[in-house]
Structure 1
Amino acid sequence: MIFPLQQSTGLYTDHYELTMAQGYFLCGLHKQPANFDYFFRKCPFNGSYVVFSGLSSVLSIIENFNYSDKDCEYLLSIGFNSKFVEFLGDFRFKGDMYAAKEGELIFPYEPALRVEGSILECQLIETLLLNILNFESLIATKASRIRLAAGKKALMEFGLRRAQGLGGINASKAAISGGFDKTSNVYSAHHFNIESTGTMAHSWIQSFDNELEAFRSYARIFPDSCTLLVDTYDTLKSGVPNAMKIAHELKQKGHELAGIRLDSGDLTFLSKKARKMLDDEGLQHVKIVASNQLDENIIQSLELQGAPIDIYGVGTALATGKDDAALDGVFKLSMINEKPSIKVSENISKMTLPGIKTIHRYIDDDNQFCADGISMESEVEYEKIYHITLPEKQKQINSCRKESLVHQVMKGGQTIIPQQTPSELALYTQSRLKQLPDEHKRFLNPHVYKVGISEQLLSIRNDLARKYLKKDPF
Structure 2
Amino acid sequence: MGGCASTSNVLAGQLFNIPVSGTHAHSWVMSFDSEIEAFRAYAEIMPKNCVLLVDTYDITQGIKNAITVGLEMKERGEHLAAIRIDSGDLSWRAIEARKMLDEAGLFDTGIVLSNDLDEYTIKSIKDSGAKVTSWGVGTKLATAYDQPALGGVYKLAAKRKGDGPWEDCVKVSGQAAKLTVPGVLDVRRYYHESGLLAGDMVFDINKGVALEYIVDPADELRQKDLKGKRFVTLLEPLARGGKVVLKEEYRDAMIAQAYCKEQLATLDESQKRILNPHSYPVGLEYGLFHRRRKLVSELLGLSK
Same fold (TM over 0.5): yes
Deviation string 1:69-104 (CA, Å, 9 cap, x unpaired) is xxxxxxxxxxxxxxxxxxxxxxxxxxxxxxxxxxxx
Task: State the partner residue of 2:73.
Answer: 250
Q: How far did 1:200 drift?
A: 1.1
Which one of the candidate residues 195, 199, 207 is aligned to 2:23? 199
For residues 221-232 of structure 1, what are the structure 2 equivalents within 5 Å?
221-232=45-56
2:241 counterpart of 1:417: no
Q: How far did 1:416 drift?
A: 4.2
Query: Relative to 1, partners in 2 of residues 1:298 and 1:416: Cα closer, same or farther, differing over 3 Å?
Result: closer
Larger relative helix fraction: 1
Tell me the SS of whatever aligns to 2:156.
Answer: strand
Which one of the candidate residues 384, 396, 407 is aligned to 2:225? 396
2:32 counterpart of 1:208: yes
Deviation string 1:282-313 (CA, Å, 9 cap, x unpaired) is 11111111111111001001111110111110
Q: Percent identity?
A: 40
Q: Is the 8 A contact 2:212 2:286 kept in 1?
A: no
Query: Relative to 1, partners in 2 of residues 1:329 and 1:368: Cα closer, same or farther, differing over 3 Å?
Result: farther
Tell me the SS of whatever aligns to 1:408.
Answer: coil
Q: How far did 1:381 drift?
A: 4.3
Task: State the partner residue of 1:446.
Answer: 277
Task: State the partner residue of 1:457.
Answer: 288
Structure 2 CA distance for aligned equivalents of residues 427 and 381 of structure 1: 34
The TM-score normalised by the length of structure 2 is: 0.91
2:195 counterpart of 1:367: yes
CA RMSD of aligned residues (A): 1.7
Which one of the candidate residues 245, 264, 272 is aligned to 2:95? 272
Structure 1 CA distance for aligned equivalents of residues 156 and 233 of structure 2: 22
What code does the residue aligned with 2:142 have?
Answer: A
Task: Give structure 1 stretches of 5+ with no counterpart.
Answer: 1-176
Deviation string 1:189-234 (CA, Å, 9 cap, x unpaired) is 2222212222111111111111111111111121221111111121
The TM-score normalised by the length of structure 1 is: 0.60
Task: Give structure 2 stretches of 5+ with no counterpart.
Answer: 161-165
Which one of the candidate residues 183, 189, 192 is aligned to 2:7? 183
Q: How far did 1:380 drift?
A: 4.2
Structure 2 CA distance for aligned equivalents of residues 416 and 387 of structure 1: 30
Which one of the candidate residues 308, 326, 329 is aligned to 2:149? 326
Tell me the SS of whatever aligns to 2:288.
Answer: helix
Tell me the SS of whatever aligns to 1:403.
Answer: strand
Query: Relative to 1, partners in 2 of residues 1:225 and 1:383: Cα closer, same or farther, differing over 3 Å?
Result: closer
What code does the residue aligned with 1:219 have?
Answer: A
Q: Is the 8 A contact 2:189 2:232 kept in 1?
A: yes
Q: Is the 8 A contact 1:358 1:377 kept in 2?
A: yes
Query: Relative to 1, partners in 2 of residues 1:317 and 1:219: Cα closer, same or farther, differing over 3 Å?
Result: same
2:131 counterpart of 1:308: yes
Structure 2 CA distance for aligned equivalents of residues 204 and 455 of structure 1: 62
